[in-house]
Amino acid sequence: MADTDFETAQFTARTLSEALPYIQRYDRQTIVIKYGGHAMVDEALARSFARDVVLLKHLGINPVVVHGGGPQIGGMLERLGIQSEFKAGLRVTDEATVEVVEMVLSGAINKTIVRAINSAGGKAVGLSGSDAGLIRAVKAEGKSRDPDSHIEQVVDLGFVGEPKAIDPSVLNALSAADDDLIPVVAPVGVGDDGSRYNINADTAAGAVAAALGASRLLLLTDVAGVLDKDGKLIREIPRNRVSSLIEDGTAAGGMIPKLETAGRAVDHGVGAAVILDGRAPHALLMELFTEHGAGTFIS
C-alpha cells in the first residue's frame, strides 16, 4: 500500500472513531430534516444527501425528510402559463395554483427524492401531509404593513396554510411495520373542510419534529446559517435571543421564518434545531457527528 493510501485509510479510521460518541448520542433518536433549496436541484448534492440519509438510518438513527420545492413549482406554473398573483410580496395560491403545487410536491419532487434514497440503498416511502391526516391545516393569514400609517392589514393568500395539528400515527405505523423505512413528506396539508393547503416546508418540518419529539430539527438552507451584522456565522443562539435577533435586523428576509420555526420547535419539545448550509457536501454528517457542527444551533 502506498504511503498516501495508508494515510487516507488512517484518516478515515480516525474520523469514524472520533464520531463514535455522537453516533451513540443519536442512537434510536428521530431526526427531522427539512430538505430544499440548492441542495435539491444540484444533482451531485442530491445524490450526496440521499447517501447521507441512508447512512443515518444504518447508524441506528430515524430520519424523517420533509421537503420543499418552490423553484420547481414556479417553473411548472410558468410552463403551464399560469400567472401568479402577488400581494404584499407573497404568492397567492388560488385553485389552479394549488393543484399544480400538489402535483409537483406530492408527485414529481417527492418521488424523485424517494428514488434517490432507494438508489443509495435505503427504503424510502413517499407521503403527503394529506395522507392519513398527517398534517391538518388551517388557512394562513398574510399581513402587510402600510408604509405611511404602519397599520397592518390582513392579506388573503388563498390556499396557503399553516399546521393546525399533526397526527404522526401513519409515521409510527410505518416504523412499526418495517424499521428500515424512511418517510419522505410533501408539505401539503388538508383542512377540516377537505381543502388542500400549501404549507411552508420549514413550518411543516418544525411541526412534524415537535409531534414526533425529535432529538433534532435540521433546516437545510442556502446560507451558512444565521449571520451576524458583520456577515460571520453565529454558531449558537439561545432560544430567548431569537426574538431580539429578528427585532434588531440581524435576521431578515427568509431567515426570519426559519428562526421562528426553530424557536417554536424547541418550545414544543424538540431537543434542538439547527439552520445549516445545504450547499455544503455532507452537511448533515458534519452537524451530527463532529464537535463544532455545521450551522447555527438553536437550543
Instruction: Say if 277 falls within a structural domain.
Output: yes
C-alpha–C-alpha distance, residues 288 and 299, integer Å: 14
Query: Tell me, what's the pLDDT at 126?
Result: 98
Is 46 contained in some domain?
Answer: yes
Residue 199: name the closest of 54, 93, 80, 126 by CA.
93
Cα dist from 11 to 4, 17, 32, 175, 284, whole Å = 10, 10, 30, 35, 20
Query: What percent of the chain has a predicted confidence (pLDDT) above 90?
Result: 69
How confident is the model at residue 143, as a pLDDT? Answer: 67
pLDDT for the residue 68: 93
- What gap in Å lies between CA 197 and CA 140, rounded to an integer? 9
Tell me: the pLDDT tens digits for 166-221?
999 999 999 999 999 999 999 999 999 999 999 999 999 999 999 999 999 999 99
Instruction: Quote the mean pLDDT of the chain.
Output: 90
Give residue 54's identity as a one-letter amino acid code: V
Residues 185, 124: Cα–Cα separation, whole Å? 10
Q: What is the pTM of this model?
A: 0.92
Task: Give the DSSP H/E element, type plus range, for residue 99.
Answer: helix 95-102
Look at residue 151 and tell me whether its pLDDT is greater than 90.
no
Instruction: Note whether residue 10 is domain-resident.
Output: no
Q: Do the domain assignments include residue 38?
A: yes
196 lies in some domain = yes
Residue 131 lies in a domain: yes
Quick check: is 93 in a domain?
yes
| Domain annotation covers residue 154 | yes
What was the pLDDT predicted at 8? 78
Number of domains in the chain: 1
- What pLDDT is attached to residue 218? 98
Range of the domain at 218: 27-298
pLDDT of residue 14: 82
Which CATH number characterizes residue 132's domain?
A: 3.40.1160.10
Average pLDDT over residues 131-154: 76
pLDDT confidence of residue 104 = 94
How much is the pLDDT for 153? Answer: 67
